[in-house]
Structure 1
């Protein structure tokens, strides 16, 4: 099995755990941990937007938020995907991929076009973390014809390690897969 071209063993496990969430947003929400330029940790919840390769996943962010500066400072991240109905926690470690400008633009446009009118509206809201201004506009929907804003950013992460903690049975089960070992499964103490 080629570790970079084949679907890693953990992908079907993650898909199955996400499917158990049904229509719950928990199947799409994951936490992104970054390091701020001052060295302090930051964690926030983002929406999973799809796979761009066997071990590369896409997230979207507002370029006016703190995340782009944090990722420029430290491109290594950890993502945590807690799927309560499956009683599973996936910990995904990797780094922000640098993409060629043409590919980055093409992929951003592709993601922009897949968003619902309500999803696109979020990028027309005022700058994140700025003081709230009474009377500021927070549209609920944007038409398909509205152009993609410059601050609509794609974050593509290339994963290097995945851990799965299954919170069922006694003892719990913990496994790890690493890209460097062609995603071979390792059993770990929970």
Structure 2
């Protein structure tokens, strides 16, 4: 792994303070719809690809996949309630070389539990619900990775940390273009 930006250990420490709570892996992804309106949803953090790129997974049939093809810029918000802080990460969806993308998708697919894989066996997200449609509770290890199992690798260009403790709160920013130099901001 490359050298870590200075905000990464702070994020790691904040996530550790969340303990075993599943919420420590949840972050919000903001995208822009084709009509220019904002969209927000919660996804599960799947790991770091390098010092400032993280992985998320999605169903390629979802609206977010189309939104990201149209506008690859995103903002992520990671609210860590026990640590009383909020990380705001700005970046963009990275286009990976096809061989690397396929290898990374397969790695993530193999790393999911049967219950975690099950989501990709469900009907298309957002489509009308059909009576009797299959919603499997799990997909076995030998089930091939579906084409709509998609990796979202987000390259981070800016991070803000809002610490919601003390008076006044503290706010800091790091930008890749500034060599991840810390800037102190008004909260």
TM-score normalized with structure 2 length: 0.98
Task: Write the mapping of 1:1-190 to structure 2, written as runs, cut at 5 A.
Answer: 5-190=2-187
Deviation at 1:133, TM superposition (A): 1.4
Measured in 2, the distance between the counterparts of 1:138 and 1:5 equals 40
Provide the secondary structure at the position in 2 that maps to 1:94: strand
Provide the secondary structure at the position in 1 that maps to 2:89: strand
- Structure 1: runs of 5+ lacking an equivalent: none
Deviation at 1:174, TM superposition (A): 0.3
Deviation at 1:25, TM superposition (A): 1.3
Provide the secondary structure at the position in 1 that maps to 2:28: strand
Q: Which stretches of structure 1, 4 residues or more, deviate above 2 A after TM superposition?
A: none
Measured in 1, the distance between the counterparts of 2:108 and 2:98 equals 15
Measured in 2, the distance between the counterparts of 1:150 and 1:25 equals 27
Q: CA-atom RMSD, angstroms?
A: 1.0
Provide the secondary structure at the position in 2 that maps to 1:113: helix
Provide the secondary structure at the position in 2 that maps to 1:109: helix
Provide the secondary structure at the position in 2 that maps to 1:99: coil
Deviation at 1:73, TM superposition (A): 1.0
Deviation at 1:5, TM superposition (A): 3.9
Measured in 1, the distance between the counterparts of 2:16 and 2:122 equals 31
Q: CA offsets per residue over residues 119-140 of structure 1, 9 Å max, x none?
A: 0011000110011112111111
- Structure 2: runs of 5+ lacking an equivalent: none
Q: How many residues align?
A: 187
TM-score normalized with structure 1 length: 0.97
